[in-house]
Chain A
Amino acid sequence: MLESLTLLLACQLVGEVAVAYFAIPVPGPVVGMVLLFLGLCIRRGVPAPLQQTANGLLSNLSLLFVPAGTGVLLHVALIREALLPIGVSLVLSTLVAVAVTALAMVGFEKLAGRKGPDAP
């Protein structure tokens, strides 16, 4: 548990340093994710304690967005002022993104003649 958490933090730290040093336009944790992924590929497997720690963090992933979401308090005035453009744009563009991505993925896979696991 402690080793796994240290490993995750170390990957993030190396990621943050790399981003600052090489001016990469991606956040440090994403680079850390790539590093950990490469490490797992080299090691050919996920150690059980790491899997456990990851499950613990990822099964509560939505909790971690709550503090930033509560930041809506800071912009109540601005959002109220532009409520129509912001509201319509957020809802429609989210639906567009979901529909385009899903249709494209299903379409390309059909062209390639592959099928994935289906939801019931």
Chain B
Amino acid sequence: MTDLGDIWVYLSSSPLLHLTLTLVAYLIGARLYRRFNLHPLLNPVLIAVLILVAVLLITDTDYATYFEGAQFVHFLLGPATVALAIPLYNQIERVRRSAASLISALVLGSLSAAASAAAIAWALGASPEVVASIAPKSVTTPIAMGISEKLGGLPSLTAVLVILTGVLGATLGPILLNLMRIRDWRARGLAIGVGGHGIGTARAMQVNEVAGAFAGLAMGLNALATAILLPLIWAWLF
């Protein structure tokens, strides 16, 4: 019989273990989320990340080792982003009818997200590096990292802040929209897409197709608007 320690050494160096672990953690999160009727506070990403962080800390595994397995899941973000064209196409008539309001609302939302994030962090005494890392946090991961680098932030810190923002947008966003009595699915989707990028879009997609399409569109256009405007405004301010 092989020693259990040897099996652990083998497993922990192969991508299989951490890939499986990622899926199991997410399935636990997704099951809880469905059990409680998609309650926004039980966001499956949040639950999965908490489980994984606990497991990695307990087993003393570093992130690079974990990512060797998790990269296969991470990779699918690319084709999934491309696939957002499909719900968008299915809703094209609705989008075209409100194009002017949609684009104006989006630019206002994008600017207020970046400006409020940077201003609050700065006012509470964060270092310039952290302020620059936090400014693009409402933009989906790869592009936020690029913007952060241009502004003099830490791209890898930005990646984490982006995910935290997505979870916040997907959990607090629907609660706030209910409190504000916003019932229009287009406005709800747009707001969740600007506030919570892909994680917000994932949530919107599960709740309503119109909201999902508008959220996906908001995520894409927010990325575009922030990538173009933020470095220009930053250069002008500092």
Q: Which residues of A contact B (CB under 8 A)?
A: 5, 8-9, 11-12, 15, 25-30, 32-34, 36-37, 40-41, 46, 50-51, 53-54, 57-59, 61-75, 78-79, 82, 84-86, 88-106, 108-109, 111-112, 114-120
Contact = CB atoms under 8 A, between A and B. Distances in A.
A118 B113 CA distance: 25
Given A27-B146, A94-B195, A97-B116, A8 B83 contact: yes
A15 B79 CA distance: 11
Contacts, number: 349
11 contacts: A25-B146, A30-B81, A62-B202, A63-B48, A70-B52, A75-B160, A78-B154, A79-B160, A96-B112, A101-B191, A119-B185
Contacts of B196: 94, 98
Nearest to A29: B81
If over half of A's interface residues share one DSSP class (helix, strand or loop), that class is named, otherwise mixed; here it is: helix
B224 A26 contact: yes
Interface in B46-78: 48-49, 52-53, 56-57, 63, 66-67, 70-71, 73-74, 76-78
Contacts of A62: 26, 30, 43-45, 170, 199, 202-203
Interface in B116-163: 116-118, 120-122, 124-127, 130, 134, 137-138, 140-143, 146, 154, 156-157, 159-163
Say which size band chain B's interface belongs to. 35 or more
Given A89-B118, A106-B184, 6 more contacts: A27-B140, A33-B85, A58-B202, A61-B202, A66-B25, A103-B180
Given A12-B82, A71-B159, A108-B100, A97 B109 contact: yes
